[in-house]
C-alpha cells in the first residue's frame, strides 16, 4: 500500500520504517526541514536499537522517503497516519492542537477516498473530533477516521511493531476494516490477534493499558517501601507474587518511579477524562501520588546517610534515561532527583551511555559530565544508580572502591545482590531491601 505518516517523532518514525520493511511505499512528513534532511541521509533523531539499520535499508530500496510537503504525501497515499505530539497541558489534558490542525489541512487536500488513522495517543472521542473537522470540508464517502493506538516499548520498539502481541483498530467502517486488516496481515502471521472495535473503545484501551502498568509499578514501589519497614526482602516478594499467572512477572520491579513519554502523560490524561465525566478515579489519583513521592525516596536515603546535610557533597550518578536502551529523558525520575540534590547544594558527576546530550540540554553547566562510568566516580562520596543499563550490572567493584572517597552505593534499581555487596564491603542501600553496612 501507499502510506503517509505525518510526524517523524518516536512513533511516526518507527511506524513508517516498519511499514516500509514489509514492502509498503511510505512517505513521512514533518515541518522540521533539518530533521527531514537528516532522515534522508539515514540519520535517526532518536536512539532506538535496530531502527537505523532498518531505515537505511528501506531508503536504499526506495520504500521510504521524507518530505516537508504535506500535499505531496497525501496525494497518492491510501492510508494516512497521524503520529503527532499530544503533550500534556498544565491541567494534564492531552493537547490536541497538532492533530486537529493537521485534520483541517487534510480536509483541503483529499479528493478521493482515504483512511485517516490516529496513531497518536489521544483522549476518548478524538476520532469523532477529527471526523467533525473533516466533514466541514469533505463528504463522508471520501474518508474514514480510524483509531489505531501504538503499544511500543522504547528500547524494543522495532520488535514490538514487527511482532506485536496484539493490534487494536477502532473503526465502524467495513471498508476501513478491510484495508487495516490487509495492512497489518504481515505482522500477525503467527496468529497474534487484530482486535477490531469502535473508536472510543480503542482510544480507551491505550490509556487503560498504560495506566494499569503504571499502577503495577506504583503498587510494587509501595510494597518495597513497606518491606523496608518490616524487614522483608522485596526481591523474594516480587518472585513470590510474580509466579502467580493472574499477576504475572512483568512490571513488578521496584525502583524510583516510572517516567518516559507515555506513562506520566497517559495517567494524567485518563485521570482528567474521569474528572470531565464527573467520575472520582481514586485509584488513578493514588498512582500519581505514589509515583511523585517515590522519586524522592532515594534523596531521603541520602539525607539520612549524610546527617541531613548534602551541601558540598560530591555525588556520582550512573544512568539518566528513564529506562535502559533509550536516550529519552522525558519525565525521567533522574531529573527530579538531580534537581532536589542540586537544590540542597550537592555537586553531581553524571554518566549515561546515550542520554548525556539530552541531559546537557536540560541542565547545562549545573552538572559535571563524565566520559565514562568510572570517570564519574572520581572524588565522589557516593554512587547513585538511577537507570539499570546492562554495562552497570558487572562493573569492576574494586575500581569503584578505589575511585570513590568511600564505598557507598545508593541503588535505585536494585541492580546488585545484597550478599555480594556485603562480601565486597560496601555500604549499600537499595529499594525494599535491608541496608548493607560496610565493614
C-alpha cell at 216: 503495577
CA 200, 205, 210, 216 torsion-angle sign? positive
Sequence-separated contacts (24+) of 159-163 with Cβ below 8 Å: 159/50, 161/14, 161/15, 161/18, 161/187, 162/18, 162/21, 162/187, 163/187, 163/190, 163/192
Catalytic, 262? Answer: yes
- Quick one: three-class SS letters along 169-228? EECCCHHHHHHHHHHHHHHHCCCCCEEEECHHHHHHHHHHHHHHHHHHHHHHHHHHHHHH
Q: Are 268 and 192 in contact (CB under 8 A)?
A: no
The H or E element that residue 92 is part of is none
List the Cα angle 317/320/321 in 5-degree steps: 160
Residue 118's closest CA among 169, 152, 72?
Answer: 169
Q: Are 313 and 384 in contact (CB under 8 A)?
A: no
List the Cα angle 326/328/334 in 5-degree steps: 105
Residue 54: burial class (beta carbons within 10 Å; 0-12, 13-18, 19+): buried
Pick the catalytic residue: 18, 28, 227, 262? 262
Give 311's DSSP letter.
Answer: T
192 Cβ neighbours under 8 A, 6+ residues apart: 163, 164, 165, 166, 167
The two beta strands, 2-6 and 167-170, are: unpaired
* Alpha carbons 201 and 198: distance in angstroms, whole number: 6
Q: Are 50 and 34 in contact (CB under 8 A)?
A: no
Q: Active-site residue numbers?
A: 262
Amino acid at each position: 500500500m501507499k502510506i503517509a505518516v505525518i510526524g517523524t517523532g518516536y512513533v511516526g518514525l518507527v511506524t513508517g520504517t516498519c511499514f516500509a520493511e514489509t514492502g509498503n511505499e511510505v512517505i513521512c512528513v514533518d515541518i522540521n526541514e533539518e530533521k527531514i534532511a537528516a532522515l534522508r541521509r539515514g540519520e535517526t533523531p532518536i536512539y532506538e536499537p535496530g531502527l537505523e539499520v532498518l531505515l537505511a535499508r528501506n531508503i536504499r530500496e526506495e520504500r521510504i522517503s521524507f518530505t516537508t510537503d504535506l500535499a505531496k504525501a497525501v496525494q497518492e497515499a491510501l492510508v494516512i497516519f497521524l503520529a503527532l505530539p499530544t503533550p500534556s497541558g498544565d491541567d494534564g489534558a492531552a493537547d490536541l492542537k497538532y492533530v486537529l490542525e493537521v485534520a483541517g489541512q487534510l480536509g483541503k487536500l483529499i479528493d478521493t477516498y482515504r483512511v485517516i488513522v490516529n496513531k497518536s495517543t489521544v483522549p476518548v472521542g478524538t476520532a469523532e473530533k477529527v471526523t467533525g473537522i473533516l466533514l466541514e470540508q469533505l463528504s463522508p464517502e471520501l474518508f474514514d477516521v480510524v483509531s489505531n493506538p501504538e503499544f511500543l516499548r522504547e528500547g524494543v520498539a522495532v520488535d514490538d511493531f514487527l511482532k506485536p502481541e496484539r493490534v487494536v483498530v477502532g473503526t465502524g467502517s467495513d471498508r476501513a476494516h478491510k484495508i487495516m486488516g490487509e495492512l497489518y496481515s504481515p505482522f500477525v502471521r503467527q496468529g497474534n490477534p487484530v482486535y477490531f472495535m469502535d473508536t472510543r473503545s480503542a482510544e480507551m484501551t491505550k490509556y487503560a493499558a498504560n495506566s494499569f502498568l503504571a499502577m503495577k509499578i506504583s503498587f510494587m514501589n509501595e510494597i518495597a517501601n513497606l518491606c523496608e519497614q518490616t524487614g522483608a526482602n522485596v526481591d523474594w516478594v516480587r518472585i513470590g507474587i510474580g509466579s502467580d499467572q493472574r499477576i504475572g512477572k512483568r512490571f513488578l520491579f521496584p525502583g524510583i518511579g516510572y517516567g518516559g513519554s507515555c506513562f506520566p502523560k497517559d495517567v494524567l490524561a485518563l485521570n482528567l477524562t474521569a474528572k470531565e465525566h464527573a467520575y472520582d478515579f481514586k485509584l488513578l489519583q493514588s498512582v500519581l501520588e505514589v509515583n511523585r513521592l517515590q522519586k524522592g525516596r532515594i534523596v531521603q536515603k541520602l539525607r539520612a546517610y549524610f546527617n541531613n546535610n548534602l551541601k558540598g557533597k560530591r555525588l556520582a550518578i550512573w544512568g539518566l534515561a528513564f529506562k535502559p536502551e533509550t536516550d529519552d529523558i522525558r519525565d525521567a525520575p533522574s531529573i527530579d532527583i538531580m534537581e532536589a540534590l542540586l537544590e540542597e547544594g550537592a555537586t553531581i558527576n553524571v554518566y549515561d551511555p546515550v542520554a548525556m546530550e539530552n541531559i546537557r540540554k536540560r541542565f547545562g553547566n549545573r552538572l559535571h559530565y563524565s566520559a565514562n562510568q568510572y570517570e564519574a566516580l572520581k572524588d565522589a562520596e557516593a554512587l547513585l544508580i538511577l537507570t539499570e543499563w546492562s554495562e552497570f550490572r558487572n562493573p569492576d567493584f574494586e575500581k569503584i572502591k578505589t575511585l570513590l572517597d568511600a564505598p557507598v552505593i545508593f541503588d535505585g534499581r536494585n541492580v546488585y545482590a545484597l550478599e555480594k555487596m556485603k562480601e565486597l564491603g560496601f555500604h549499600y542501600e537499595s529499594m525494599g531491601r535491608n541496608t548493607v553496612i560496610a565493614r
